Amino acid sequence: MTDPTTDGRVQKGNETRRLVLGRAAEIASVEGLAGLSLGRLATELELSKSGVFALFGSKEELQLATVRAAQRIYLDQVVEPVLELPAGVGRLWQLCLRWLEYSRTRVFAGGCFFYAVGAEFDAQPGRVRDALAAGSRAWHRTVLDFLESALAAGELHPDADLEQLTFELVSFLEYANAMSLLHDDEAVYARARRSVLLLLRSEAADESLLPAE
């Protein structure tokens, strides 16, 4: 029989962990993962410092857990809502729109979490950099998979360079994120949207599969 007291403690621990990681992701998207500390989070959230330390144990473990939590939010906001759509250029277009909205609406206070912390750790070998690199590869693979599915559905030109298209699409999205933050300018999202649309229309087997504008 399960001990209800133990169940209650586990549930409380899980709730505290979610609370801490939610705040950690917000801080890291603005200040970087280096700006995180167990003591700071405990103070800001009015939690027991010993309890927060018991959940993570070290700053590196906190950083890694924050990356995993941000990945879950990213998947929920950007990728999973379009997975049930029919394979093709329309689904890829919707994926790009979801990404632009994820950045524009500041799901994370500092824009795209992974753009922010990727720049922070790209030259720092270690477990955190490895986790971020794996996430970057997974996002690249997702875009490439969507392109491959569109090609298989006959909705892209047969000679389309899918790796090049992946590179260009991700570049449009990330540049819009960076410029919107640096210049506090939402107009860049409309430009990125148009760039993505023009690129996809140029490679689509049938331009009518995509919006005209």
What the block records as the tokens of 69 is: 């939590």
* C-beta neighbour count of 160 within 10 angstroms: 18
109 found inside a domain = yes
SS3 44: helix
192: Cα separation from own chain's centroid? 17
212 found inside a domain = no
Confidence check: pLDDT of 137 > 90: yes
Whichever domain contains 58, its CATH number is 1.10.357.10
Q: How high is the mean pLDDT of the chain?
A: 94
115 found inside a domain = yes
**Mean pLDDT, to the nearest integer, of 179-189?**
97
Tell me the per-residue pLDDT of 105-115, one tens digit each, with 9 for 90 and over. 999 999 999 99
> What band does 14 get if pLDDT is binned at 50, 70 and 90?
confident
13 found inside a domain = yes
- CA 94, CA 189: separation in Å to the nearest integer? 14
**Tally of structural domains, the chain:** 1
Ranked by mean pLDDT, the top range of 6-15, 54-63, 197-206 is 197-206
The full 3-state SS of 96-129, as one line of letters, equals HHHHHHHHHCCCCCCCCHHHHHHHHHCCCCCHHH
Confidence check: pLDDT of 74 > 90: yes
Tell me the per-residue pLDDT of 190-205, one tens digit each, with 9 for 90 and over. 999 999 999 999 999 9
Residue located via tokens 């979801």: 98
Confidence check: pLDDT of 126 > 60: yes
213 found inside a domain = no
pTM of the model: 0.91
